[in-house]
Each structure stands twice: as structure tokens, then as C-alpha cells.
Amino acid sequence: MSQNVKRHRERQKLQEMIDYFPITAILGARQVGKSTMARELDWNHFFDMENPADARLLENPQLALENLQGLIVIDEVQWVQNLFPYLWYLVDQKKQQKFLLLGSASGNLINQSSESLAGRIAYLTLSGFSREDLTSEQKKMHWIRGGFPSSLLAPDDGTSYQWRENYVRTYLERDLPQLGIQIPAGTLRRFWLMLSHYHGSVINYAEISRSLGISDKMIRYYLDILSQSFMVRIVEPWFINTSKRIVKSPKIYLRDSGIFHYLQSIHSKENLLVNPKLGASWEGYVLEEARKIIQQEEIFFWATHAGAELDMFWQWKGRNFGLEVKFADAPGMTKSLHSAMEDLKLDFCWIVYPGEKSYLVHEKVKVLPLEQLAQIATPDY
């Protein structure tokens, strides 16, 4: 199987950012392909902060950077101290320099760079491989293995599963402590396992707090760290003025379907198809692929306490759009979807399912196979 997966949408957007902004940052989980994408560019200087020699050089960023020209790449930039104020000076004084920063923890990186580099920096969030970039053979494995390159492109399911096991162990034992979570790896594993059971559901902080013996405040802090390191997606509810009682707590998803399947001990697609988490897995997988296509990092859901809900809501060019995910043979209109169309004033909505045919079930609602998901990028209705 070819290892050469072209990330067309992300590569085009990245090049546009580099051409226009003096500083561009690629944010994403570790080993998701940030460095590979950066090395394929026409760069002049590359600093890897996990290389001790490069780390020593950037202990004094002024001495290391001021005489360089062209595109300068700094990988794992969150470990460079006092860099952003100096970058502000450099890009204002030296027009022949451009910077590409790669980071795997978004919170502090965005806060620091936003304060120092407002108007000078653009952000690209990179997830695992997108389905639209894969061959037909790779697509067959994408849902079960996830989008991390080493997991998806492994020679067999067993090797892929082993890679994900090692990734989770490294993340728990090394990466999270470096990001400020100072509790035993075993407790962190139980916390992450609990989160995987909430995948696709509204999170109950109090229930997790009681189970782990940790305060609500700490649960929210740990969840924020997992979100900032791109392992968990917190989807906030969309609020509207209505007499209906709206669900106000967020939903949670493991961003990568392969990591979710590992945490649920799902080894193969055959295992998945008979697993109680099948629907939740399909929902999270489709929503993550849809988010990549619409190129919006922030998406919302909508739900009422009476049971009406919509899996995904977003706005584009002043219009409201929705997406519902169903693992069913022939989904159609429901009372819940009628309610969502009316209350959210949706201009159009799609129902994504694992079948092969697309068809209208309402003048503003279309059932769409996963293979045609790209239609939501530029809706034509």
C-alpha cells in the first residue's frame, strides 16, 4: 500500500496561509503528520525541538534566528521559551523571513501567540488523514483504524492496534505529565476510558468525578488538557431563543476513531459491527470527516430535553446548516428532524448513512452516502 497520501485540502490551505501571513502555525496531535507536511514544503531552515542540538540553539532565539532568511520551520514550538515576542520583532523588521510553527498543544501556544502576534499569524489545525484523500483500499480501513498515518498504513489490523496501544501509553505516561497533569498514569487511563464511554453523549461531570474521586473542577481541567492536545473534541450546544428546554451541557467525542476503538477493545470491523458502541462510533467518525470538509474547527449540536436533536449545526455565509448521522439502511424524516428544521431555521440539512444512494426526503433534507460527503462543502440546493 502506498504511503504517499496527498492531503490536498490542507496543503492548499497551508500554502495560502504561508503566502499571505508572515507566521503560520500547524496545530495537531503528536504523530498526526505535521512534520511530514512541513518537510514537503520549500523551507530554508528546520528546527526540531525534540533534537537536543536544535533545542540548545533556540535557547537564544535572537542569536539563532536573526540572520536567517526564507521559510523557517520550528517543530514542537510549545517547548521554546520567550519566542513569540521576538518573532513579532523579526517579522516587523525582516521582511525576507517567514515562519512555520508546529505544535501539539494548542492552549498556551494560541494564547501566547495571539497576544504577541495578533494580525501576523494564521492557524491550521491538522487532524489525521481525511477520507477524501485515500485510495479505495485505505478507505476500507479508515473508520476502524483511524487517521493517524502509522495506524492507518500499518500492514495489518494487529500491527495497527499495537501502534495505537503504544501511542496511548506514551501519551499517558509522557505527554500528559508534560502538559501539567500530575496524577498516576493508571488514573489517567481510567479517566480516558470513562470518556470513551461518553463518546457521542452529553458529558456528566459529576458522575465521572464520583467514579474517580476527583473534584468536578479537576475533571474539567483534565478534559480541557485533552481537548487542547487534540485528543478529545468538546462540542458545545447551540443556544436559541425558544420556549423549549434546551440541553446546555457539551457532548464529547474522541477525535480519532482508531483511538476510540482501541479504548473500547474493538480490534476489527467485524468486532465493531456487533458492538453496542457501533452507532456512537459511526456518529463520531462522520462528524469528524464532515468538520474537515467544511473547514470549521468549531461545530455545535442542538438538543431539547423533550428528545429532539441534531448531531451537527454550523453557519456558512450567513446561512444555517445541519447534519444528522444514522447507521441505518434507509433513513428518512423524523419528528425530531422536523423540529430541528423549524427551530434552527435550517437552510438545508443532510442525513449521512452507510448506504450507496442519495435521495431527498424533504425539499431541504437530503440523505447522503458517506462517499458523497464532500457535497456539504459547497451546498447546491
- Specify the CATH number for the domain of residue 19: 3.40.50.300
CA geometry: angle at 39 spanning 34 and 40, to 5°?
105
Q: Are the beta carbons of 179 and 229 closer than 8 angstroms? A: yes
Last residue in a domain, options 75, 94, 125: 125
Residues 149 and 117 in one domain: no
Structural domain includes residue 262: yes
Q: Are the beta carbons of 149 and 5 closer than 8 angstroms? A: yes
Residues 309 and 351 in one domain: yes
Q: Which domain holds residue 27?
A: 8-125
Residue 172's nearest CA partner among 183, 161, 158 is 183
Q: Transcribe 48-106 into DSSP letters.
A: ETTSHHHHHHTTSHHHHHTT--EEEEEESGGG-TT-HHHHHHHHHH-TTEEEEEEES-H
C-alpha cell at 134: 485515500
Q: What is the pLDDT of residue 315?
A: 93
Residues 262 and 176 in one domain: yes
Structural domain includes residue 330: yes
Distance of CA 261 to the CA centre of its chain: 16
Cα separation, 146 vs 131, whole angstroms: 10
59-74 in b/e burial notation, b at 16+ Cβ within 10 A? Answer: eebeebbeebeebbbb
Residues 196 and 335 in one domain: yes
Residues 65 and 150 in one domain: no
Structural domain includes residue 3: no
Structural domain includes residue 99: yes
Residues 136 and 111 in one domain: no
Burial of 134 (0-12, 13-18, 19+ CB in 10 A): middle
pLDDT along the chain (381 residues), means of 10: 72 94 92 93 94 92 89 89 81 82 72 67 92 94 97 96 95 77 77 92 91 87 85 91 82 97 95 96 97 89 93 94 96 95 95 96 96 86 58
Tally of domains within the chain: 2
Residues 164 and 118 in one domain: no
pTM of the model: 0.91
Cα separation, 306 vs 235, whole angstroms: 20
Residues 140 and 217 in one domain: yes
Residue count of the chain, please give it: 381
Structural domain includes residue 95: yes
Residue 291 sits at φ, ψ, to 5 deg, of -60, -40
Q: Are the beta carbons of 251 and 203 closer than 8 angstroms? A: yes
Last residue in a domain, options 82, 107, 125: 125
Q: What is the pLDDT of residue 360?
A: 96
Last residue in a domain, options 91, 125, 159: 125
Q: What is the pLDDT of residue 114?
A: 59
Residues 108 and 137 in one domain: no
Cα separation, 58 vs 80, whole angstroms: 7
Q: What is the pLDDT of residue 2?
A: 40
Which strand ranges, in their side-by-side order, compose the sheet holding 359-362?
Answer: 201-202, 251-254, 232-237, 300-303, 309-316, 319-325, 348-353, 365-369, 359-362
Q: What is the pLDDT of residue 1?
A: 38
Residues 342 and 236 in one domain: yes
Residues 37 and 139 in one domain: no
Structural domain includes residue 1: no
Residues 239 and 345 in one domain: yes
What are the start-end ranges of the H helices in 309-361?
A: 335-344
